[in-house]
Amino acid sequence: MIELSHIGKRFGEAVILNDISISMPEGSVTALVGPSGGGKSTLLRCINLLEIPTAGNLKLGNETLSFMPGQKTPWAAIQRIRRQTGMVFQNFQLFPHRTALENVMEGLVTVLKWPKEKAKARAMELLTKVGMAHKADAWPATLSGGQQQRVAIARALAPSPRVLLCDEPTSALDPELAAEVVDVLAKLASEGTTMVMATHDLRLASSIANRVIFLEAGRVVEAGSSADIFQNPREERTRRFVASVTAAQTTGV
């Protein structure tokens, strides 16, 4: 489904990702975890080419792209990859001048050129799925953070992407509101939605992901099942990270 081979990313002299090779099967939920600055969000953004890798190969569905330093990636190829992905951001990024319903419809109407009635029906279907049908006509400013994120998830799902990418989907929310979003993501996971999420929230990762990749300094330190990484990690660095984050989240620090 998704294959990254020898992916590298540099910003000037700074190496952000260093020789990343991982695969993510269709129907799987993969969590990218690790300390801040370890490369989680950059790797996630490389999958849908919000960041263009400096080197390596990306395969998503039937599309394969290769990257080399100084080589420009054709815009049409970028668009073919992006059409297969839905992106959920940390800060929601809803249009403030559109209702919840209109936010979900927007991409279907303006990008995919769906008729408005068809787009409206799809948007209502998805708002119902995420428990937000009763807020269809609400403006984003009147919604809680958890409600805004649920609308954002519906919007990302609207064009039926092959994979849902979530960049710290709960980090801007307090625990109660985060639980609303976790419930929605868990439901999507149970339905077989392919997801990749970058997250600091180990409770989210352990409850939803069936595969976890621990990144530090732009490298994969360890990868395995959720149970292996959180309960029986092989690497000492992974053990220390999991213990420190678990302690902080337990005490609310």
Residue ranges per structural domain of the chain: 2-84+163-251, 91-160
The rounded average pLDDT for each run of 10 residues, N- to C-terminus, in the chain (253 residues) is 94 93 93 93 95 96 92 93 93 94 96 95 96 96 95 95 94 86 91 93 88 95 92 92 76 53
Give the model's pLDDT for residue 246: 73
Residue 74 CA: distances (Å) to CA of 49, 78, 99: 11, 7, 34
Give the model's pLDDT for residue 252: 56
- Torsion angle, alpha carbons of 153, 156, 160, 162, to 10: -100
- The predicted-structure confidence for 40-63, as pLDDT tens digits, reads as follows 999 999 999 999 999 999 999 889
Give the model's pLDDT for residue 253: 46
Give the model's pLDDT for residue 174: 86
- For residue 10, the one-letter residue type is R
191 near 126, Cβ under 8 Å?
no
Give the model's pLDDT for residue 248: 62
211 near 223, Cβ under 8 Å?
yes
Architecture of domain 2-84+163-251 in CATH?
3-Layer(aba) Sandwich (3.40)
